[in-house]
Amino acid sequence: MVVETKSARFDSIALDSGATLSPVEIAYETYGSLSADRSNAILITHAFTGDAHAAGISEETGKPGWWDNMIGPGKAFDTDRYFVICSNVLGGCQGTTGPGSVNPATGRPYALTFPVITIRDMVRLQRMLIDSLGIPRLLSVAGGSMGGMQALEWAVSYPDMVLSTIPIATTWRHSAQQIAFNEVGRQAIMADPDWAGGDYYDTKPPARGLSVARMVGHITYMSDESMREKFGRRLREKEKFGFDFGVDFEVESYLRYRGNQFVSRFDANSYLYITKAEDYFDLTNGTGRLAEAFRKSDTRFLVISFTSDWLYPTYQSQEIVRVLRRINGDVAYCDLQSNYGHDAFLVDIAEQTEIVRGFLASTARMARAA
């Protein structure tokens, strides 16, 4: 399945901060086809550094999508049945307007003049896209990690437009630990002299800082067990320690590789803006009254967590489930056994596929019966 990234453009978007962004562009891909009654659309929301290319082989790069194992003919999000949409988030750097985009007022990249955005702003832009595609109601919104935050936000902000929500390995508000790791990443970027107050688009990007930020991120996406299995204390192309500060261990080599690779595809300012949006995320706007946030919503929920995920731990998903139970909401929940840590939703997908497939099919069945 060769896919092409498309783009939609809107005159302006009003943001939570009070600022307005105009114009605004959003990159998206679609898979499968929309049914005549437009009832089979599913929006996939991506995690922090994801993009619109969720499935199939990119026409441009020849690479498979980031959730290609979950989206496609016969897969969990079965494109023989459903019309699947995925877009790049607001503030991103893969086709949707972000700090690296050119500000039409100045003819130069926004850099730090880009307004601070929220998860709700991302969802607002997605809603504009869904409206423009002529889809009155989504069968489901599904995503992991920051994608799960967006899915939850959809259920709360536009309850009439979502029949079901699949928040995976996520939280209803960012915790101190999650904010802490994001702050380390931001500080790594801002400590790099090449960052230059965010104004580096004419020179060279803060590659060292961004790469260190990514290395920290990668550690939090794995688990002690998965790192032990994958690397152990194995040395990298040597039999003995080098007694210097070059690469000794496999794990060092892996992190450096991931860090360097990331620099070529991701904008450091987007890193700052998107992590800030995650950190501001609180479905209750600080009241802590999650039941009230969900009360407007008749949406069905399938909440999924993973046993070894210590970045978005099981208890955070269980809090969502408990509150939904308290208001007698329709919620299915499973804590899937996996050693892959937070990355599990991307890589350990057999059981996830089993439940997502059944949940979507029963949601479609309910929609038809209603």
Partner 1 sequence: MAAHTMAPVFPRVSLAERPDFSIIGEIVQPGSRVLDLGCGEGALLAWLVENKQVLARGVEIEAAQVRKAIARGVSAYQGDIDEGLADYPDKAFDYVILSQTLQETRSPLQVLKEMLRVGRRAIVSFPNFGHWSVRRAMLFTGQAPKTKLFPYDWYNSPNIHFLSINDFEDLCRTSGFPIEKRYFLSGSTRVGTMPNLLAQTAVFLLG
Residues identified as active-site? 145, 309, 342
Q: At what angle do helices 207-221 and 268-280 cross, to 10 degrees?
A: 40
User: Which H or E element spans position 157?
Assistant: helix 146-157
Compute the distance between CA of residue 313 and CA of residue 342 in angstroms, rounded to an integer: 8
Compute the distance between CA of residue 325 and CA of residue 367 in angstroms, rounded to an integer: 22
For partner 1, the binding residues in 3-42 under the rule CB under 8 A are: 32-33, 35-37, 39-40
Residue at 139: amino acid letter: L
Q: Is 315 in the site for partner 1 (CB under 8 A)?
A: no
Q: Is 183 in the site for partner 1 (CB under 8 A)?
A: no
| Chain-centroid distance, C-alpha 160 | 23
Compute the distance between CA of residue 127 and CA of residue 14 in angstroms, rounded to an integer: 13
Cis amide leading into 167 (omega within 30): no
Q: Is 316 in the site for partner 1 (CB under 8 A)?
A: no
* Minimum distance, C-beta of residue 332 to partner 1, in the bound complex (Å): 5
| Candidate segments 89-97, 117-125, 264-272, 321-329, binder of partner 1 by CB under 8 A | 321-329
HSE (CB half, 13 Å, CA atoms) of 231? 17
For partner 1, the binding residues in 109-138 under the rule CB under 8 A are: none
* Minimum distance, C-beta of residue 328 to partner 1, in the bound complex (Å): 5
| Candidate segments 44-52, 140-148, 259-267, 325-333, binder of partner 1 by CB under 8 A | 325-333
β-bridge pairing 77-78 and 20-21: unpaired
β-bridge pairing 20-21 and 13-14: antiparallel
173 or 300, CB closer to partner 1?
A: 300
Question: Strand, coil or helix: what is 63?
Answer: coil
| Candidate segments 106-114, 130-138, 259-267, 317-325, binder of partner 1 by CB under 8 A | 317-325
Which member of 4, 60, 224, 354 binds partner 1 (CB under 8 A)?
A: 354
User: Which H or E element spans position 24?
Assistant: strand 24-31
DSSP class of residue 108 equals: E
Which member of 119, 139, 274, 344 binds partner 1 (CB under 8 A)?
A: 139
* Minimum distance, C-beta of residue 336 to partner 1, in the bound complex (Å): 7
Q: Where are the alpha helices (DSSP H) in the chain?
A: 119-132, 146-157, 176-190, 207-221, 224-230, 250-263, 268-280, 290-295, 314-326, 344-347, 350-369
Q: Is 82 in the site for partner 1 (CB under 8 A)?
A: yes
| Candidate segments 78-86, 100-108, 128-136, 210-218, binder of partner 1 by CB under 8 A | 78-86
* Minimum distance, C-beta of residue 353 to partner 1, in the bound complex (Å): 9
Compute the distance between CA of residue 97 and CA of residue 62 in angstroms, rounded to an integer: 23
Compute the distance between CA of residue 23 and CA of residue 125 in angstroms, rounded to an integer: 12
Q: Is 370 in the site for partner 1 (CB under 8 A)?
A: no
Residues binding partner 1: what is the number (CB under 8 A)?
Answer: 39
Q: Is 326 in the site for partner 1 (CB under 8 A)?
A: yes
Which member of 70, 321, 344, 349 binds partner 1 (CB under 8 A)?
A: 321
DSSP class of residue 107 equals: T
The site for partner 1 (CB under 8 A) is made up of: 32-33, 35-37, 39-40, 80-82, 139, 300, 302-303, 321-322, 325-328, 330-337, 351, 354-355, 357-359, 361-362, 364-365, 368
